[in-house]
Amino acid sequence: MNTTAQQARETLVRHSFAQQAEWCAKLGSMFTSRLVEGLGQQLDRNTATGQKVLNWPGPPDALGDAVALRLAGGLHGLARRGRLPGLAQLYPPNPLPQTQILTRAALDAIGEADAEIVEWLEFPPQTNEVARSAILYPGLMRVAHETGLPLSLFEVGASAGLNLFPDKFLYRMSDMVFGQPGSPVILLPQWSGALPVGPQPEIVSRRGCDRAPLSVADAAHRERLVAYVWPDQPDRIARVEGAIEIARPSPPRIDAADAADWVDAVIGGDAETGAVRVL
């Protein structure tokens, strides 16, 4: 890559970090906003991490390879592991640090764990947000009500398949409670209108697909699922940790496949008897 092309690539990457910082702030994570804002301005080529990020060959923004979130996830994962104590002491629940202080600590951490962070950059961010089950579960209740059958669940873009366990979560809607009593995952959707109608659905099979699937049976994959959740959003971290523990005893089958091809091959095949398929 010649100098002009390298500079153009670096400018594009730094701009994507600035955009990501704005979105993190809008979505309620000032910690991640300050982290990626500072790194987008100060990261240089003195480390393998800096070289890889600033020379990123693909689209670096959130609609592409989400490079800023890859780097933030790697730092969060290593900080949670105890690998970066200097940086970890700035993470929540500690007070929100100033951007300059956080950036300096993050750059020091990159120098300290350069090779490990480069490895993290290979992974696309996956958060597997289970709060969406608060919308899915009432629909499953309705399907069970209208068919009188147990359900076979299928999910595209499933990540580790945590949303294939909606029957294992507890839901509080208005003054009603649905789902699994005592569940470590409690969802509190804002609900208006008539409450859901139907029985608690019986789910007899769970299967999904993802281009880069994760497995709750793999400790490294579990670490990544939590690391990509923004560290100043403890409710989201608690949800994903609870969902992981629910899924671990019987991990769902998640195929490495493109969604369209998978749906044609799996959903388009002969259906099992005595159950209704829900995609």
pLDDT tens digits for the chain (279 residues)? 678 888 999 999 999 999 999 999 999 999 999 999 999 999 999 999 999 999 999 999 999 999 999 999 999 999 999 999 999 999 999 999 999 999 999 999 999 999 999 999 999 998 889 999 999 999 999 999 999 999 999 999 999 999 999 999 999 988 889 999 999 999 998 888 888 888 899 999 999 999 999 999 999 999 999 999 999 999 999 999 999 999 999 999 999 999 999 999 898 767 678 899 999
State the pLDDT at residue 195. 84
State the pLDDT at residue 175. 82
For residue 258, count other CB atoms closer than 10 A to its CB. 12
Return left, alpha or beta for 63; rule: phi > 0 is left, psi -120 to 50 is alpha, else beta: alpha
State the pLDDT at residue 84. 96
SS3 179: strand
- Which H or E element spans position 277? strand 276-278
The whole-model pTM stands at 0.90
State the pLDDT at residue 120. 96
State the pLDDT at residue 188. 92
SS3 140: helix
State the pLDDT at residue 45. 95
Distance CA 187, CA 173 (A): 9
CA-CA-CA-CA torsion sign (142, 147, 148, 152): negative
| Pair of tokens at residue 106 | 């993050």
* Beta strands 176-179 and 170-173, pairing class: antiparallel
Q: What b/e string do you get for 100-113 counting C-beta neighbours within 10 Å, with b at 16 or more?
A: eebbbbbbebbebb
Q: Which amino acid type is present at position 157?
A: G
Contact between residue 30 and residue 96 where contact means Cβ atoms under 8 Å apart: yes
State the pLDDT at residue 173. 87
